[in-house]
Amino acid sequence: MQQGYDVIVVGGGHAGCEAAAAAARVGARTALVTMDRATIGAMSCNPAIGGLGKGHLVREVDAFDGLIGRAADAAAIHYRMLNASKGAAVRGPRIQADRRLYKAEIQRLLAELPMLDIVEGEATALDLDDKGVRGLVVDGGARTLAAPAVVLATGTFLGAKLHFGMENVAGGRIGERAATAMAAQLKEAGLPLARLKTGTPPRLDGRTIDWAALKRQPSDGEAWTMSAWSERRLNPELSCAITRTTAESHAIIRAALDRSPLFSGEIQGTGPRYCPSIEDKIHRFGDRDGHQVFLEPEGLDDPLIYPNGISTSLPLDVQAAMIRSMPGLEAAEIVKPGYAVEYDHVDPRILTHDLQVRSMPGFYLAGQVNGTTGYEEAAAQGLVAGINAARRAGGEAPVRLERDVSYIGVMIDDLVLQGVTEPYRMLTARAEYRLRLRADNAVTRLSGIAEEWGCLGAEVRGKLADHRAARARIGEALDSPVDADVAEAAGLAPGQDRSARPLRAWLALPGADARTIRQLAPALSDVPAERLAESFEDARYAPYLARQDDELARLRRDEGVAIPPTLDFASIPGLSNEMIERLGAARPATLGEAGRIRGITPAALAAILVHARRRAA
């Protein structure tokens, strides 16, 4: 049996759901293939969305009418703005989600898309010819789905193995099969595969925790939401709590390292540096007398607690002893053991910036299969892959987001030019232009691009019009002159210059905050607070952004020189073998991209520039 589509997406995790939704929103007839439709949208590990860098990605996907932000608000039971005391550019919105509500909302949002079909079955092979992808084989050949574009978003399921102490089984999650047939085909096709590892902590019965002995962490009292399109917070908000590992905990772990697959050699894959297992923490940071553990509820009507900070693959008896050595957890019961997942990923340097495999036209990769970690990184890649797969099916040119306009662009540029040696995690420090890439201005930054690419549904287009109208009103007010006496009455110090200045100039002075706009421009009293706060931050950052704009203009002039796709780097004198290998793997399209590859020196760039111009002449 054969059925035709424009786009086929494999995998119902965060990358797959965003890819399928994006492709369907832009008008492609799309199939989402999953082994079990009931698991679509499941949160495999941490029941949280967002954080530092990650929250920026959520807001950017949301600006394209993506799913993750709205589903996060529909499921949120705890809100927290990380780095709230620091500058707006490095603040990270994060929510704790009710797992059941999150999955239900993702499934509801997908069901609303008329161009999307859910196909239940195992994706066992790509249907290929000498021109690239032409479809997908399901259930070993029982069905073939035809399409000019396929997005593979298998998460941690590709060739996956679960580790419980020294025991291991094939699988991508407890009770779920690994994608072994697809992994075998990709290896046979010669794609460069390597192994990575991630892990999850044991789940605890919250009814067995001594909450009174622990420091509580309440939800933020403010009214912000993850999605710009959410009207308000919907659910009761719970508190989290904090405990710590102890010297006894560390002794228990050290005594059992010979039973850890991580230290015995059973696990070959590299784990995430920024979220290591507890046994790895004890080994690497031996001088620490304790590590914080955040106790996070998994749902409103679910007693399970996620102890964030102690992912582990140690045997169950060691996990139980470790848990009971921590304050407040002396009687805690483990409901589900922690375990490690080892899985295949593809070297992302084989991809172009639209996330298409360079050697296999029509084949796109998104999510942890590209060596990333986390729901947010996966969702952002899914968005880009889904849009571009749909554009390929419709005969349109691929599109990309640049580093200076989005964290999504930073991440994809890093992946396809640098590759990965460990699971890639988005950090604000990765963005050179993070002053302009704030989490609070994602809609303003990206909505025009989203609209141009046809990514916005009717409801979001209507809300975007309101957003723009509010921004226009604020802009007029910011350009209006304000007398020094009025500004002084609002708590600002005019200094020697008593002349009237535009409101935006007053907002740059010490002592100004978002409330100052309402004081100095009473006509804006009915404008949403988040729009005023965004405009205040715009005014504060304006002098720095103006200098950065000049820098960007110079960089674009110097870095925009195209490198022919057939340029033989080995023919360029002065390049080391290591440089030739890295340039050949990444195939940079411009001199700027070449300069972002590790180990490429200014002298090497000069040599490449000479040869690129010679080829173009």
pLDDT score for 227: 97
DSSP label at 356?
B
For residue 611, the model assigns a pLDDT of 83
Split at pLDDT 50, 70, 90, the class of 462 is very high
From CA 495, how far away is CA 593, in angstroms rounded?
47
Q: Is 596 helix (H, G, I), strand (E, B) or coil?
A: coil
Q: What is the C-alpha to C-alpha distance for residues 30 and 52, in angstroms, rounded to an integer?
A: 33
- Angle, CA of 187, 193 and 198, to the nearest 5°: 125
- pLDDT for residue 55 is more than 70: yes
Residues 6+ apart with CB under 8 A from 358: 350, 351, 352, 587
- Assign 573 a pLDDT band (cuts: 50, 70, 90): confident
% pLDDT > 70, the chain:
99
Instruction: Reply yes or no on whether the pLDDT at 367 is more than 90.
Output: yes
When pLDDT is averaged across residues 586-596 and rounded to a whole number, the result is: 88
Lowest mean pLDDT among 277-281, 446-450, 453-457: 277-281
Give residues with Cβ within 8 angstroms of 3, minimum separation 6. Answer: 31, 143, 144, 145, 146
Instruction: Please state, in angstroms and rounded to a whole number, the distance separating the CA atoms of residues 594 and 564.
Output: 12
CA dihedral sign of residues 100, 101, 106, 107: positive
Contact 65, 42 (CB under 8 A): no
Q: Is residue 232 scored above 80 in pLDDT? A: yes
Match 């549904």 to its residue by tokens: 457
pLDDT at site 110: 98
Q: Which residue has the higher pLDDT, 282 or 323?
A: 323
pLDDT at 397: 97
What region does 512 belong to: left with phi over 0, alpha with psi -120 to 50, or beta? beta
Summarize pLDDT for 491-540 with one digit per residue, the tens. Answer: 888 877 788 889 888 888 888 887 888 888 888 888 888 888 898 898 88
DSSP code, position 421 = S
How far is 410 from 338, CA to CA, in rounded Å? 32
What confidence category does residue 61 fall into, taking pLDDT thresholds of 50, 70 and 90? very high
CA distances (Å), origin 260, targets 164, 254, 311: 9, 10, 12
pLDDT at 166: 77
Model confidence at 379, in pLDDT bands (50, 70, 90)? very high
Judge whether 309 and 275 are in contact, CB under 8 Å. no
Among candidate residues 240, 378, 368, the one with its CA nearest the CA of residue 306: 240
**Mapped to the 3 state alphabet, what secondary structure does 117-182 carry?**
EEEECCEEEEEEECCEEEEEEEHHHCEEEECCEEEECCCCCECCEEEECCEEEECCECCECCEHHH
Return the SS3 of 354.
coil
Q: Can you give the pLDDT at residue 555?
A: 65
Which pair of tokens denotes residue 548? 């950065």
Beta bridge partners of 340: 163, 199
Mean pLDDT, residues 265-294? 84
Task: Return the structure tokens found at 478.
Answer: 């910011």
Residue 2: which pLDDT band, with cuts at 50, 70 and 90? low
Amino acid identity, residue 28? Answer: A
Band (pLDDT 50/70/90 cuts) for residue 617 is low
Contacts of residue 90, Cβ cutoff 8 Å, sequence gap at least 6: 52, 83, 428, 434
Residue 1 pLDDT > 80: no
Kind plus residue range of the DSSP H or E element containing 217: strand 215-217
Q: CA-to-CA distance for 9 and 386, rounded, in angstroms?
A: 8
Give the amino acid at 560: G
> How many Å apart are CA 282 and CA 334, to the nearest integer?
21
- The predicted model gives 247-263 an average pLDDT of 89
Phi, psi of 154 (to 5 degrees): -90, 0
| pLDDT tier at 566, thresholds 50, 70, 90 | confident
Mean pLDDT estimate for the chain: 91
pTM of the model: 0.91
Q: Looking up tokens 């067995």, which residue turns up?
A: 208
In angstroms and rounded to an integer, the radius of gyration of the C-alpha atoms of the chain is: 25
What per-residue confidence (pLDDT) applies to 249? 96
Distance CA 460, CA 350 (A): 35
Predicted local distance difference test score (pLDDT) of residue 520: 86
Please tell me the predicted confidence (pLDDT) of residue 332: 97
Once rounded to an integer, what is the mean pLDDT over residues 262-280?
79
pLDDT of residue 616: 66
Three-class SS of residue 562?
strand
Comparing 101 with 281, the larger pLDDT belongs to 101
Question: What is the amino acid identity at position 363?
Answer: F
Residue of 183 and 395 predicted with greater confidence: 395
- Model confidence at 558: pLDDT above 70: no
Beta strands 501-502 and 481-482 are: antiparallel
The pLDDT of residue 405 is 94
Instruction: Provide the token pair at 249.
Output: 């905990």
Averaged pLDDT for residues 255-268: 81
Q: Which residue has the higher pLDDT, 615 or 160?
A: 160
